[in-house]
Amino acid sequence: MLDPKQYDDPTITARVTALETTPTPELKRLWRELFQKDAPPFNRRYLISRLAYRIQEIAFGGLRPETIVRLERLAEEHWGPIDGKTTAKRKPGRDADRRPIVGTKLIREWQGVQHTVTVLVDGFEYQGRRYASLSAIARTIAGSRWNGWVFFGLKSSATSQAAIVEAR
């Protein structure tokens, strides 16, 4: 059994608490220091929550490998594999850091019809079906190849007219 007292470190508690009042440029600097890469373009709340976790992870240790495997299996049981690929084997794509927050609805009007896509932890949902990429959904809607990020307005383009609705 874990002893909660071993995690009662006032300096770690103070660092995590201080994140709430830390200016955003400083949060981004701290992100570079703790993750060795630039901060993603997500909102402040996201940066704070991930930084708080990372500070505690460094201080107290991360998840054990057995726990990670168990969580991946549970996720796969709950959400199932996407396009025949298991969650444990899939690697995040290059767009993983700029991906919209889980639960976000992407709305795109195409030829007078409104299409809604929901962002999932491990992909996207459109009309009750799971997709690994926005490009696959764009192709389903448009009938031709599209960059999914452009089609849904997540990457600038003159032809993109998508709207993003906040996650519930």
Cβ 148 vs Cβ 160: under 8 Å: no
Residue 100 and residue 160 in one domain: yes
Number of structural domains in the chain: 2
Domain that holds residue 101: 96-165
DSSP-derived 3-state class of residue 33:
helix
pLDDT at position 84: 54
* Residues of the chain under the 50 pLDDT cut: 1-2, 4, 83, 87-92, 158-168
Three state DSSP letters for 70-124: HHHHHHHHHHCCECCECCCCCCCCCCHHHCCCCCCEEEEEECCEEEEEEEECCEE
Residue 54 placed within a domain: yes
Amino acid 34: pLDDT: 92
Angle in degrees, 0-180, between the axes of helices 24-35 and 44-60, rounded to the nearest 10 = 40
* Cα→Cα distances 164→95, 121, 152, Å: 17, 17, 8
**Domain end (from 12, 36, 60):** 60
Backbone angles phi, psi at 91, to 5 degrees: -110, 145
Question: Looking at residue 8, what is its pLDDT?
Answer: 63
Q: Please give the torsion angle defined by the CA atoms of residues 27, 28, 33 and 36, in that order, rounded to the nearest 10 degrees.
A: 140
Q: Does residue 125 lie in a domain region?
A: yes
Q: Examine the fold and report which residue of 40, 60, 80 is the final residue of a domain before the chain moves on.
A: 60
